[in-house]
Structure 1
């Protein structure tokens, strides 16, 4: 915010009433529009009258609720005491606007926008943004045919929503919904750069700066609001397209307050505080000029719905090289975390159910190494998630928002799973003959005698159950992290079946190697070995079936979908078509082979060596399909974001600029991929 000043601004020359200057120290004004403004904040001189907020002294002008049924008075909405002053530090000189605690919002008249980008420039100047960031941006859609070709510009920033998904999703609590003006504010210094808010926001409002490693966004220019001025973008608008005020109060010279226009995502996702006017007739089909394979078609009711734009044709390609992305750490994070959970889950839970082969394994010396392997795999997964952060050393802030954020709960669940594995290993130490012998030889300490009288088995089982519960919570909230309405490609049951399927199939691979090797080396009976192999093959097959069923439903649903999820699936079937078919073919063959192997095991085929070789091949092939599938998962997702321009806010142009070296020029406005 602007610095507080206490010095009078002197004006020697006669004041032009059409322009006006304002003295924040004495409350003297040169224009009636500036009367009653706060004297606490510095005010820019030479502001035009249209730059000042309407005061709405007539309270009857302001509605009680907005069109979504939410109270417009933010104090009433928050449940704060009515008698509580909302002035900063109880200072009545701050915030003299009588509607200071009402929800404010932007009003955009698309008919007036000429695409001059003055709003972008004013916003970036005020916030000192680098070239690759813009809190407000202007995109456009166009359609028709010559000579009746039409274009509609859309100026968009943060919409300070009634239901801010960024606030609920942020694990660090960097976001706050303020009672003053209903502004959703974000603190870049609290942010640790995970970028989750950029995933969940349908409007591309939060901006992740890969150079600084943190997110920032539009703050509604609350410092200007405190002195009665509209946001900088509104004041700079040349065509009177942007306006600002108490939400639902239609500004002067406006006749509409719609909640959507072509190219705007479904307002039901967040209930945004922006209203539109668009009265000029547009073609039935409007196209985006960026590389997004989405266009908008007018339905029978006159609303524009997104449909797939097959810009890239239908040819299938491999594009293995494009599977590499900045999300690679998350590919490793999710796969290793899921595999670690399955590695511990399968033998421990099966032993709890009294399956003889696994009961014997848990009592053996090799249960401790298996637990440590699960712990190390989880630690590596968490390390990968930390390296993905813009500011890795602030990882501890990821637990700040356990009340709302699925990402915070995911991290907490996996951290507790690690703690549970650690405790299980700790209580297993005295019961492990190898460790006890080593302790006696190196430290002359007999762990059995040292822990005599402790219920180690009960403690081991309790710690293991705690680990299972925590791991279940971690994997559940890992799935919830990706059930995002703004990303329909992820917002599907296939995400859950993939995560659970990989937990079972990859977990069966890792734990199977340890358990089966232990049983074979310890000369256990063929019956116990076959029993363990049957369990692992069953779990492995179940994991593949779950993933396959999810993919079939995903393909069916997205093939009939016209939203951004269907557009992502179109890219999956074209740009990565051959890779997608290759992965699915491998998965299908692997599943059929696993079912055959399971059938042979059930029918009593007892050649353990042949079974182990076949099972190992299937498990390794599954590793390849899991990595390819997870890389596609991150690469393909298309958010319900706002239209860009041919150059600006165009992912296709950004990639082209990087390919030819144009991105090396900072003025191009293409951010580096990492800081």
Structure 2
């Protein structure tokens, strides 16, 4: 045992003595230094990037032992919190029993040519240096919305709950500018990490081949610049060690509440305007419109309030307009603001005669007489709000958040809750004011509500067909999560959806209306409350069941 420990200690001591500077000194003393061998550029280039070039990490897989010295060096040099890491080490394995493969992989930010984190940021908290190509995060500009953690396919940006902002690797740009290697490069005892100059066109050409690392996200999304090289050819079955593991994602509860309530409000205003422009529903809409508009407006304001709880620095939320040119989140914020403002004006126009004179005297004649235009504008902005919300997640290119799936779910939520809220408002108003017409309207809305809710539930259940996929794809992982780790939440969602969205409306449709009966009102309100609870569960699954390719993991996880 003592001999074995001595051998290990000798090897470790040799590793520590063979840092790049010492290796250079040793070769210089032996007269084995020449410019042709590139010994001067062992860690970083001697020159800055030229036209069509940028800095990039280069990783020698044959030299990486998975010791995590790079992780520790990065953490210490950048003053990161104990639970924060900008560099990680994963594991790839494969091969056969005769020729097995086990390869450790160190990874950090890839300083992509087309960084998704920068493109999606609503406040412009990212910039790509035009000379070096380094993607930097501007901590002072960040509001902690965490959208970049969703848009980056490599899970690079890390949210720091203590600071309320996101932070990431900047390739130790201050050290590079002074001719010093980044912390991870200097910390590696085997010289597995270095900084190299890469040609932008070569990176784009490599991205077309869709080959980066086994199991990793496609390089075609952002064109990562990190170069992994090895003298060994990776076997065809090489996969990350955690390839078959599935784990629930974060629930993002403030976003769940915000999305569901804004879609409820949008759906309610759309149904309201459809009724206002149909002969059979115009009178009923006029009778209950003011009450329904207040309900939808209140929920819209509540949605805005809930969204601020998702921000790490909510006091700086006003910056969210900066990224309007390229960020769907900025566009959503602008459109939601316009939607709530239009809803407020529309509600004021409906309640004009009931408001104190101090308010009504400031209402313009156009506002009083053009309620129809204002109502249509509010409904149109509601639809646009749902579109912008959907595009936030579609643009991340996650299969579970595909354009078809996200659009159907978001508009389905708006339709289900919009119909349920109008039906409940009609039943409540009809009961309070003894209006048979409003009760009839509530009954008429019950059947389309049941049909749409049933179709939406069937579409959501279709993900379980992927359980039979032979390949462990993203949608199969999502189906496995919903079937196993998130089973209780999934069962609750479908139970609430079936009872509140299908059975209660069908009973409502078959109910014999009586003005003095509370049963009809209870059914209508139950349909709304249970459907709302079901949609909140569905939106929680939307976040938690999302699974996407990621960089290799498995070491210390």
| Aligned twin of 1:360 | 283
For residues 444-483 of structure 1, what are the structure 2 equivalents within 5 Å?
445=357, 450=361, 454-483=365-394
Task: Give the drift of 1:171.
Answer: 1.0
- Counterpart for residue 30 of structure 2: none
More helix per residue: 2
Residue 171 of structure 2 is aligned to residue 220 of structure 1: yes
Cα distance in 2, alignment partners of residues 411 and 151 from structure 1: 47
Residue-by-residue CA offset, 1:126-183 (whole Å, 9 max, x unaligned)? 3221221122221112346778553211111111112211111111110112211112
Q: Partner residue of 1:276?
A: 228
Structure 2 gap ranges (5+): 1-20, 27-32, 203-208
Deviation of 1:636 (Å): 2.0
Alignment of 1:635 with 2:557, yes or no, is no
Q: Aligned residue for 2:13?
A: none
- Residue by residue over 1:356-412, the C-alpha shift from the partner in whole angstroms, topping out at 9 and shown as x without a partner, is 43x224544x43332222222111111111111111211212222111111111222
2:544 is paired with a residue of what secondary structure?
A: helix
Query: 1:50 is matched with which residue?
Result: 42
Cα offsets for 1:270-303 (capped at 9, x unmatched): 111122213425555446455xxx2xxxxxxxxx
Matched residue SS, 2:105: strand
8 Å Cα contact 1:597/1:615 also seen in 2: no
Select which of 206, 209, 219 maps to 1:267.
219
Q: Is the contact made by 1:206 and 1:217 (CA closer than 8 Å) also made in structure 2?
A: yes
Matches within 5 A, 1:410-449: 410-432=332-354, 435=355, 439=356, 445=357
The residue matched to 1:389 in structure 2 has which SS?
coil
> Is contact 1:198–1:206 with CA below 8 Å preserved after alignment?
yes
Residue deviations 1:457-505, cap 9 Å, x none? 4432333222222221111111111225453322352322222122122
Instruction: Note closer, same or farther for the CA distance 1:100–1:494 as it changes in structure 2 (3 Å cut).
Output: closer
The alpha carbon displacement at 1:340 in A equals: 1.6
**What residue in structure 1 maps to residue 265 of structure 2?**
340
Summarize deviations over 1:503-526 as a string: whole Å, max 9, x none. 1222222232223333454444x4
TM-aligned CA distance change 1:227 to 1:206, over 3 Å: same
Secondary structure at 1:628's aligned position in 2? helix
Alignment correspondent of 2:326: 404
| Secondary structure, counterpart of 1:514 in structure 2 | helix
Q: CA deviation at 1:242?
A: 2.0
For normalisation by structure 1, the TM-score amounts to 0.69
Distance (whole Å) between structure 1 residues aligned to residue 466 and residue 110 of structure 2: 31
Residue 113 of structure 1 pairs with residue 64 of structure 2 = yes
Deviation at 1:218, TM superposition (A): 1.2
1:277-426 to structure 2, matched below 5 A, reads 277-282=229-234, 285-286=237-238, 288-290=240-242, 294=243, 309=244, 327-351=252-276, 353-357=277-281, 359-364=282-287, 366-426=288-348
Q: For the residues of structure 2 that align with 1:17 and 1:310, how far apart are their CA atoms?
A: 41
Map of 2:418 onto structure 1? 507
3-state DSSP of counterpart to 1:150? strand
Q: How many angstroms does 1:564 deviate by?
A: 2.8
Residue in 1 that maps onto 2:10: none
- Which consecutive unaligned segments of at least 5 residues does structure 1 have? 1-14, 21-30, 34-46, 56-96, 252-256, 295-308, 313-321, 440-444, 651-675
- Find the residue that maps to 1:247 and give its secondary structure: strand
Aligned to 1:562, what secondary structure does the other structure show?
coil
Hey, what's the Cα distance between the residues in 2 that align with 1:169 and 1:333?
19
Question: Cα 1:48–1:102, aligned 2, differ >3 Å: closer, same or farther?
Answer: closer
Change in Cα spacing, 1:183 to 1:542, as seen in structure 2 (3 Å) is farther
Describe how 1:118-157 pairs up with structure 2 within 5 A. Answer: 118-143=69-94, 149-157=100-108
Q: Normalization by structure 2: what TM-score? A: 0.82
Aligned pair in 2 of structure 1 residues 250, 243: CA closer, same or farther (>3 Å)?
farther
**CA, structure 1 residues 147+238, in 2 after alignment: closer, same or farther (shift >3 Å)?**
farther
C-alpha distance in 2 between matches for 1:628 and 1:110: 43
Q: 1:100 to 1:183 in 2, by over 3 A?
A: farther
- The question of 1:175 aligning with 2:122 is answered no
Check whether the contact 2:429–2:438 (CA below 8 A) recurs between aligned residues: no
Alpha carbons 2:146, 2:166 under 8 Å: kept: yes
